[in-house]
Structures are given as C-alpha cells and as structure tokens.
Homo-oligomer: A and B are copies of this chain.
Amino acid sequence: MKAVVLVSGGLDSATTLAVAVHEGYDCHALSFRYGQRHDAELEASRAVCGMLGVREHRIMTIDLGSFGGSALTDHAIDVPREPTQGIPVTYVPARNTIFLSFALGLAEVLNARHIFIGVNAVDYSGYPDCRPEYIQAFERMAQLATRAGVEGATCRIHTPLINLGKAEIIRMGTRLGVDYAQTVSCYLANSEGYACGSCEACRIRRKGFADAGIIDPTRYLN
C-alpha cells in the first residue's frame, strides 16, 4: 500500500518514516523548503530517506518566510533559549495544515490512502496543530475535499507518535533501526548540521536520550 510520509529531517519524522516502512507501506516522502533558517534540515531529510528506504523523495519549495510571524522563518524574531509559556514563537502559522494539504494532493495523484505525519502532542503541546482533535478534523475535511473521498475511499492520517514522550519515540526508533545521528532537531543548526545544544528543540532532544538511557549521537556545538 502506498503512503505519503512527511519528512522534515528531524527526530520525530525519521521515526515516523521508520514506522511506516516497518508496517510495509510503499513510502513516498515529502519535504518542504519553506524558508527555514538553515538547509541542514533538508540535508537530514535526504539522509533519512536514503537510510530508511523510500520509493521517492520530493522536496517542494514554498515561501512561508514571506508571511513572517514565526521565529523559524522570520530572521527578525529570535529563537528563544529558554522554555516559554503558551504557544511558542517558533510556531509557524498553519504550517502543518499547509504540509498536510500538499500531502493530500500528492496522495490523491498517487492514489494513496495513507498519510503519515510525526506530530507529537506531548513535548510540543504548545502547538495547536499537533493535537489529536486537530488531526481528526483534518481527516474529516480531507474526506470531503477529494475525488477519492467523494467516491467513498477514506484517506487516513497516521500519527504514530502523537501520544508518545520523546524518550519513548527514541526507544521505538532505535528498535526500528533509525540512526539519529542523521537527523537534525535544532532550530539553529549550522551549515554542517551541528546543533546549538541549548535551544528548546535541543533541550527536549537531549532530555529524551537521557530519559531513554540511549547515547545521544547528536553533534552539539556545546
């Protein structure tokens, strides 16, 4: 069975792809150049797709940066070094909705009925578009949006990580053979893929490996 898998190059999406491959899906990976601060993420997405084995890997360019409004795409907003309350400034408006919409279009063209996305409601609960109720609403909308839906087929959005903590994700991915050295989580990674070691994404990642009792292979600057 064909599946479209959203792959960012981070720890979560690499694990999600490993789950989809393990479950026997014929995986069509989709990544985005969306105005993120660095290309290390996209390099990681290529490495992850090569490592886990996909049918094809498409990288689409979309200019979310021109919208502004997020520290991840607007270089005028600083990525915070300390944890914040509420929805973080690293939230990119409607990002998952935009990514899932492209995945839906690609799924329809490929005649695929499965989309995988590595959202996670536990460690990033500040992002509204990582919650189960959001995913369910997207699935319902997708059913009405597409030719396949009108003809009675359902398109399922798979979120294998949604209720897992970071340590559980890392344990699962390690069992499935993910080499996390290939992945980049850091919001501020440099061009060689070295992580800053102190932004919120690095902090959560470090703690995840520590909690899982697995050696963290990430190359940190400090």
A residues contacting the other copy or chain, number (CB 8 A): 44
Interface residues of A in 103-128 (CB under 8 A from B): 104-106, 108-109, 128
The 8 Å CB contact of A145, one of B129, B144, B145, is: B129
* Copies in the assembly, this chain: 2
Contacts of A91 in B (CB 8 A): 147
Among A13-21, A133-141, A168-176, A201-209, the stretch that binds chain B is A133-141
Task: Give complex CA distance A211, B179 in Å.
Answer: 65
B64 adjacent to A94 (CB under 8 Å): no
List CB contacts (< 8 Å) of A80-108 with chain B. Answer: 87, 91-98, 100-102, 104-106, 108
Contact B146 A93 (CB under 8 A): yes
A165 within 8 A of B: no
Binding site for B on A (CB under 8 A): 58, 60-64, 66-69, 87, 91-98, 100-102, 104-106, 108-109, 128-129, 131, 133-134, 137-138, 140-147, 149-150
